[in-house]
Amino acid sequence: MSVLYLVRHGQASFGTEDYDRLSPRGREQSQALGSALMQAGASPVRIVTGAMLRQRQTAQGILEAAGWTTPACVDPRWDEFNATELIGACPADDPQARTDSRAFQRLLEKASARWASGEHDGDYRETYSAFTSRVDAALISALDGLASGQSALVVSSSGAIAWAAARLLDGGFPQWLALNRVTVNSGVTKIVSGSSGQTMVTFNDHAHLPHSWITYR
């Protein structure tokens, strides 16, 4: 069987003018994961990252700490959905959501339900259906051509990884929302692929992090 590691990016800069960059903690999380993967003997033949800066910076931190020389390639299909657009299209806003992570999560989930309903597709540049379809295609591409015993690593974001997991569990929007809610920065979801198809064997593993380094936003 082959193995795919789906990694959520490290902590980004929530509450600042530029969210799409790693915080100092996010850099530490990515380096801790790289060290843990190296110590576990992981040696991916393919490394993929979404196009977002926080994803690319996480991949860089992992590579540096692990000492891997395999170059990372960019596949924008692993980019996160546009949370700003979803919230902007939601009729009820909450000013606290700009700086309070819990208020942000409540508003995001309400906005996500509106997005996923399919009743307001004209309000979005990317519909929920288009988002899930591109993640499905990215997952197939990441696994394509891996020989038995080989592994690949993808750095993405919570929404994309949660959808890949929900798909493998034959779930839909409720499953996706529940998984998206609990993803940890730099958490690892492990998928094995063989003759019988793909199976998720771990979700959101973050044993490489000290307790005080665990973040969700």
The CATH number of whichever domain residue 11 belongs to comes to 3.40.50.1240
pLDDT at 13: 84
> Is there a single domain that holds both residue 199 and residue 169?
yes
Q: Which domain holds residue 109?
A: 82-125
Query: From edge to edge, which strands make up the β-sheet containing 151-156?
Result: 72-74, 46-49, 151-156, 2-8, 188-194, 197-205
Residue 185 lies in a domain: yes
> Is there a single domain that holds both residue 166 and residue 75?
yes
> In which residue ranges of the chain is pLDDT below 50?
none
> Is there a single domain that holds both residue 23 and residue 49?
yes
CB atoms within 10 A of CB 41: 6
For the chain, the domain total comes to: 2
The residue from 125, 150, 185 where one domain ends is 125
Query: Which tens digit of pLDDT belongs to each residue from 61-89?
Result: 999 999 999 999 999 999 999 998 999 89
pLDDT at 93: 66
Residue 131 lies in a domain: no
> Is there a single domain that holds both residue 168 and residue 63?
yes
Residue 130 lies in a domain: no
> Is there a single domain that holds both residue 191 and residue 201?
yes
Query: Which tens digit of pLDDT belongs to each residue from 142-156?
Result: 999 999 999 999 999
